[in-house]
Homo-oligomer: A and B are copies of this chain.
Amino acid sequence: MLNRMEALARRAEQLRALADPLRLRIVGLLAAHGETCVCEILAETGTTQGNISTHLRVLRSAGLIRSQKIGKWVFYALERQALDELTGWLGGHLAGCAEGCASSLYACCAKGEVPLSWDAAHAREEVA
């Protein structure tokens, strides 16, 4: 089992793999077409062959797509499970607690001299 920082690093790596316009186009094509030949991706994107290969490797080493060689062609497809896991995790990570958050108190970092919260700070401002 991964510790917390390693898990975050892994998720960051996966998100980073998606965080590129060309790679977003690629996964969009794979989503729309299913198993897709590299040559087709190449034709649709209009960049160099080496560049496409590099981007496909980034996505693959993040575990987001898989490849299958058939004859002299290579077909790529989404790893649906990994992508679902990622989007699900992200949703959970961003969801936080449903309620009671905005009203809870958080001590500020100043050495105990001024316990502070958003509400308390607001109150100060409203008085002033």
Interface residue ranges, A against B (CB under 8 Å): 5, 8-9, 11-13, 15-16, 18-21, 23-25, 27-28, 30-37, 39-40, 42-43, 70-71, 73, 75, 78, 83, 87, 90-91, 93-97, 101-104, 106-110, 116, 118, 121-122, 124-125
Are the CB atoms of B70 and A33 closer together than 8 Å? no
Are the CB atoms of B125 and A70 closer together than 8 Å? yes
Copies in the complex: 2
* Alpha-carbon distance A21/B5, docked complex (angstroms): 7
> Hey, which chain B residues are within 8 Å of A83, CB to CB?
94
* Alpha-carbon distance A116/B81, docked complex (angstroms): 27
Are the CB atoms of A24 and B108 closer together than 8 Å? no
